Amino acid sequence: MRNVGIYYAFWTHEWEADFLPFVPKVKELGFDQLEVNGGTIAEMKPADRATLAGAARDAALRLSYGIGLPAQYDVSSLDEAVRANGLRYMRRMIDAVGDMGGGTICGTVHSTWPATLPPGHEDKRRFREQSLRSMREMVKVAEDRGVVLLVEVINRFEQFMINTAAEAVAYVEEVGSPACKILLDTFHMNIEEPSIGGAIRHAGKHLRQLHLGETDRKPPGLGRMPWKEIKTALDDAAFDGSLVMEPFVMSGGQVGRDVGVWRPIIENPDLDALARASLKFVRANLV
């Protein structure tokens, strides 16, 4: 049965947060998995990481980790000093997650976010080559620590390197490691893919996790995303990974700014009630 999770930032205005209270909350709501900010995990004290991991373990709640690498840690940078800085940062994150029992780190682990092709460049191939160099170094560490890096396919308005499932498949096959897989996201696929079901099928065995959200970032079940098509494609691909809801409905703070929520997507939302109802929808329609 597919795990169903939710991203902590559904409830927050800032990326930095105390993750510990989310463990009982998310468990009580009925989820199997909690996704948190990998950057924060990397900076936490070892004792605090151990406490969080223990709480999740006691609650039988899986942890996963997301990151949009800041520009100073861009592992696809043509500036070797920046790339090296990014590799050190990712090593700390991988080691931290490894210390907590391993798992997945997803997002722009292959570049930086948000990002457009830098001025003066018309071709992304050099950045892709740098990214591949970095990923081949990172997966060596990840393999040893029980960590899998999930390359997220992101729309053209937020990132330039990997915008389609086909590009992601080509990338992970060039890396050639069991520690490098794919994260697809319904919000991004709705923008970039001519067929969402086709994208899922093409990712196939490389697909480890799917982020769920409606076309306007509402929780699943409140919009027009083709969920029946998505379910059929997941079944066709024999997908047995995690389904992680990643809705954003609140404006304000760094979270709202970074994901482009410039108005309340839902007025005066009861976030817990929304999460509970959407979880029921996902279990009925995607699991």
Catalytic residue set? 152, 246
What is 139-171 written as a DSSP string?
HHHHHHHTEEEEEEP--TTT-SS--SHHHHHHH
Residue 162 dihedral angles phi and psi, to the nearest 5° = -130, 100
SS3 label, residue 111: coil
- As beta bridge partners, residue 212 has 245
Task: Compute CA 200 distance to the chain's CA centroid, rounded to the nearest angstrom.
Answer: 16
Segment (H or E) for 174: helix 165-175
